[in-house]
Amino acid sequence: MLFTKASDRDCKAVKWILEIYAKASGQSVNLNKSNMCVSQKVSNDRAEHLARVALGIGARPGISWCPPMEGQLKMNTNAAVDVHSGRVGFGIIIRNHRGEVMASSAQDASAGFSSQVAEAMTIFTGLVFARDVGLLPYLVESDAQVVVNLIKADVIPCSEIEIVVHDIKLFLEAYCSKLCS
């Protein structure tokens, strides 16, 4: 997760940084799987221009962030796993109903997690982060559908992800009891 101003110069600087990272590490960002989120103050035409021209990200209609209801917070999470180096990255962002960033966190760890465990760890890490900064979200969103389904399931299959999903459920139970009382 990277943050910058919505200007050609700053977006080109981000692209340049990603190119340097690719040359130094041998890893490159897949721009076909990348997305750019902008403030509601930035027009759609401007956002498409910055994505296409400055960053080289193709337009992807239909992909957008849906805000929570007024007065609520939404946390989005994502994980990245580099199996070659054994590194895992956790990305967390909490926004209000206007799309304003209230808090964010990006962390990395040396770990041999599968992508599903990494996604579950990111959700759990995000919930703990949100609690610690006093911004427990009303909604949690992740693109890891398998993990989301496991969290919603009544029975968790015995696997490497079981402990993390169990911890998420315990956290949510404690959070919901505080919210509802």
Per-domain residue ranges for the chain? 8-55, 74-180
The first and second tokens of residue 48, run together, are: 């498409």
Instruction: With residue 78 as reference, give the H or E element that holds it.
Output: strand 74-82
Q: Which CATH superfamily is domain 74-180 in?
A: Ribonuclease H-like superfamily/Ribonuclease H (3.30.420.10)
Q: Is the pLDDT of residue 180 over 50?
A: no
Contact, 81 vs 88, CB < 8 A? yes
Q: Is the pLDDT of residue 178 over 80?
A: no
pLDDT per residue over 38-89, tens digit each? 777 888 788 778 777 767 776 544 456 788 889 899 999 988 888 788 888 8
pLDDT band at 177 (very low <50, low <70, confident <90, very high): low
pLDDT band at 141 (very low <50, low <70, confident <90, very high): confident
Q: Is the pLDDT of residue 171 over 70?
A: yes
pLDDT per residue over 21-31, tens digit each? 777 766 667 66
pTM tops 0.75: no
pLDDT of residue 27: 66
CA distances for 158 relative to 30, 152, 155, 169, angstroms: 33, 15, 9, 15
Give backbone dihedrals phi and psi of 52, rounded to 5 degrees, phi first.
Answer: -75, -50
Mean pLDDT taken over the chain:
81
